[in-house]
Structure 1
Amino acid sequence: MIIVRPIQKNDYEALHQIAVESGHGFTSLPVNEELLQNKIARAETSFSKTVCQPGDEGYLFVMEDTETGQVVGTSGIEAAVGLEDAFYHYHLGKVVHNSRELNIYNTVETLSLCNDYTGATEICTLFLSESHRKNNNGRFLSRFRFLFITEHQERFSETVIAEMRGVSDDEGRSPFWAWLEEHFFSMDFPTADYLTGIGKKVFIAELMPKYPIYVNLLSKDAQAVINQVHPHTVPAVRLLEAEGFSRRGYVDIFDGGPTVEADIKNIKTINKSKRCQVIIGDVQSTDNYIICNSDVANFRATQAPLSLRATAEQVVISQEVADALLVKEGDWVRLVSN
């Protein structure tokens, strides 16, 4: 069975392998032992904390194949970004150059450095091993986070964002960064990306241009990738757009990839999810659902067929699913159709 659970200290080797496989542009998982160990420790602390409002918590989950014990993916939620370290974006804006006397009117796009998403909740760190990119596992690994968020809303902000990986090649070269590197920095994209991933962001404030950048002054290659996603990221952005996320003109400062956002109350999975009481028995239905328990430290989620008794707010699940979710008859679970 495929389950999702909070990461544990003994998952380090699996997380390190995921960091290696994820490649350039996956800023949230740097290939750095100390940083990865710290990320696991921070997650363990976050899951065990009593929280009344979102703070500097980071919830990191892993997907496990229980038949083999293998960790095959990871997915995370940052409760409130930018509270400890500055959280930078470029915002796409416009300025107008107008001369009535000459009858000239030009609209020019600009990029302005900002921290507008400070305090927002971020869904992040989604990666699934190629061997398990089947049976809706990717959708499951993304969508279960919304069940966790709605079940524990006091831990999260009203605004949820996701940074989508921008365009770069197999060697990690980004057309957008290439222009910035030439004019303002003296380091390549993988180096800048890595420094950000390990928390060394001071260079951004020190070297990034302080004034708005005119987009039409960038190279044609750089202009072409602004607000565009990496080919491998297309399915992820489509899934989030189907959930109600949209682009608001914010892009990554390194690769120009888009950030999408949604209000919690407008997220499809949250609105369609139900809270039901568990009955353990024979399941007659073949309809597949994502289902999770209501715990935090012992959170579990899986996808499985189940039978709904909608009028009584009850759900029939098998003993195997109950064991996977660490629930017994009478406990409450949250679920959504997959």
Structure 2
Amino acid sequence: MLIVRPIEERDYPALYDIAVESGVGFTSLPVNEALLKQKIERAQEAFKAQITHPGNESYLFVLEDTDTGEVLGTSGIEASVGMNDAFYHYHLGKVVHASRELGIHNTVEILTFCNDYTGVSELCSLFLREKARKGLTGRLLSKFRFLFMAEHDQRFSNTVIAEMRGVSDEQGKSPFWEWLEAHFFSMDFPTADYLTGIGKKVFIAELMPKYPIYVNLLSKEAQACIGQVHEKTKPALRLLEQEGFRCRGYVDIFDAGPTVEADIHNLTTVQNAQHSSVKISNTEMTADSMENRLVINNKVSGFRACIVPIQNSLHTFDELPIPAEYADALQVENGDSIYHAPCPKRR
């Protein structure tokens, strides 16, 4: 059975392997032992903390196969970004150069350096290992966060964003960064990405151009990748767009990948979610009478999430019939409150 739970110290070897496997451009998991262990410590502190409003908490979860004990993926949430370290973006806008007398009217796109998303919550560190990318696993690893944030909304901002990985090749070369590198940074993309991942961001403010960049001055290759995602990121972007996330013109300062945003309580999963009490059931189910539900318990440090098959004819608003083995995995008993939403298979 696959469950999502808070990360623990024993998960460090798996987290390191995931950091290596995720490759260049996955900034939130740098291949650095001290920083990865620090991420685990910060997460453990966040799960234990009593919170009345979002602060510098960082929540990191793992996907575990309970049959083997193997960690197959990670998923995270930053409660409030940019409060300690500056949180940079480019915003894609327009300026008009016009002369009525000459009958000339030119609209030009520009990139403006900004900190507009300071204080919002961020989805991050989502990575599912190659061998686990099947069925509903990816949906579980992404969507459970929406229920967790809605259930514990005092811990998060109303606005949540996700930075999507931009275009780069297998060697980590980004067309957008190559233009910036040539004119301002003299530093390759993997190095800049790594420095950001380990928290050394001061070089950005020191070297980044201070004035808006005219997009038509960039190389054709750099222009083409603005707002585009890495090939491996397209499924994650589609899933978020189905939830209601939209790009408002903000892109990453390194690879120009889009940042998408939404209001937590307007997300499709949250809109369709409901609270019920647990009713442990031993009823056998057939495929045509079964539906999948994404279910979380209402705990923080003892948080658990999984996809539960239930018999739809027994489903009521007040009670959710859960097979005993799934109740054990969720660490709930008869009468306990749970939060759940539909989790249909991809069409």
Do they superpose with TM above 0.5? yes
Q: Is the 8 A contact 2:315 2:321 kept in 1?
A: no
Q: Distance in 2 between matches of 1:111 and 1:311?
A: 51
Structure 1: runs of 5 or more not aligned: none
Q: Which amino acid aligns with 2:95?
A: V
Q: Which amino acid aligns with 1:199?
A: G
Give me the whole-angstrom Cα distance separating, in 1, the residues matched to 2:166 and 2:6.
28
Q: Contact (CA 8 Å) 1:291, 1:301: kept in 2 or not?
A: yes
Q: 1:318: which partner in 2?
A: 323
Residues 1:336 and 2:308 aligned together:
no
SS in 2 for 1:18: helix
1:91-128: CA deviation from partner (whole Å, max 9, x where unpaired)? 00111101111111000000000000001110111000
Deviation at 1:282, TM superposition (A): 2.0
CA distance in 2, matches of 1:44, 1:312: 33
**Matched residues in 2 for 1:239 and 1:249: separation?**
19
TM-score, normalising length from structure 2? 0.96
* Corresponding residue for residue 287 of structure 1: 291
Question: What is the RMSD computed on CA atoms of the aligned residues?
Answer: 1.0
What letter corresponds to residue 287 of structure 1 in structure 2? E
Aligned residue in 1 for 2:110: 110
d(CA) in 1 for partners of 2:173 and 2:317? 56
Alpha-carbon distance, 1:311 to partner: 4.8
Corresponding position: 1:156 with 2:156: yes
Cα offset for 1:312? 5.1
Aligned to 1:100: 100
State the AA in 2 paired with 1:323: D
* One-letter identity of the residue aligned with 2:84: E
Quote how far apart the aligned CAs of 1:307 are.
4.0
| Matched residue type, 1:80 | S
Alpha-carbon shift at residue 266 of structure 1 (Å): 1.5
Q: Deviations over 1:25-65 (max 9, x none)?
A: 00000000000000000000000000000000010000000
- In structure 2, the gaps of 5 or more residues are none
Matched to 1:333, the amino acid is I
Q: Distance in 2 between matches of 1:145 and 1:46?
A: 15
Does structure 1 residue 296 correspond to structure 2 residue 311?
Answer: no
SS at match of 2:237: helix
Match of 1:16 in 2: 16
2:59 maps to which residue? 59
TM-score using structure 1 length:
0.98
Give the Cα–Cα distance (whole angstroms) in 1 for the partners of residues 263 and 202 of structure 2: 30
Residue 161 of structure 1, CA deviation: 0.3
Q: CA deviation at 1:313?
A: 1.1
Secondary structure (helix, strand or coil) at the match of 1:232 reads: helix
In the alignment, the residues of structure 1 paired with residue 16 and residue 102 of structure 2 have an alpha-carbon distance, to the nearest angstrom, of: 61
Is the deviation greater in 99-108 or in 168-177? 99-108
The whole-number CA distance in structure 1 between the counterparts of 2:158 and 2:275 is: 20
| Corresponding letter in the other structure for 1:144 | F
SS of corresponding position for 1:306: strand
Deviations 1:175-196 (CA, angstroms, capped at 9, x unpaired): 0000000000011000000000
Q: CA deviation at 1:265?
A: 2.4
The residue that corresponds to 1:238 in the other structure is 238
What amino acid sits opposite 1:160 in the alignment? Answer: V
Structure 2: distance between partners of 1:312 and 1:82: 40
Quick check: 1:39 aligned with 2:39?
yes
Identity of aligned residues (%): 64
Task: Quote the residue 1:278 is aligned against.
Answer: 278
Alpha-carbon shift at residue 310 of structure 1 (Å): 5.4
* Amino acid across the alignment from 1:316: P
Contact 2:150 2:265 (8 Å CA) reproduced: no
For 1:52 and 1:306, how far apart are their aligned partners in 2? 35
- 1:15, CA displacement in angstroms? 0.1
Tell me, in whole angstroms, the C-alpha distance in 1 between the residues paired with 2:13 and 2:74: 13
Letter in 1 for 2:18: I
Which secondary structure does the structure 1 equivalent of 2:41 belong to? helix
Q: Which residue of 2 aligns with 1:228?
A: 228
Q: Is contact 1:165–1:229 with CA below 8 Å preserved after alignment?
A: yes
The residue type equivalent to 2:331 in the other structure is L
The residue aligned with 1:131 is: 131
AA at the equivalent of 2:326:
V
Give the corresponding residue for 1:182. Answer: 182
Alpha carbons 1:244, 1:262 under 8 Å: kept: yes
SS in 1 for 2:227: coil
CA contact (8 A) 1:307 1:315 kept: no
1 CA distance for matches of 2:306 and 2:266? 24
Per-residue deviation, 1:212: 0.3
Give 1:135 deviation, angstroms.
1.7
Does residue 222 of structure 2 align to residue 218 of structure 1?
no
Partner of 2:185: helix, strand, or coil? coil
Contact 1:166 1:258 in 2 (8 A): yes
**Cα distance in 2 for residues equivalent to 1:81 and 1:209:** 22
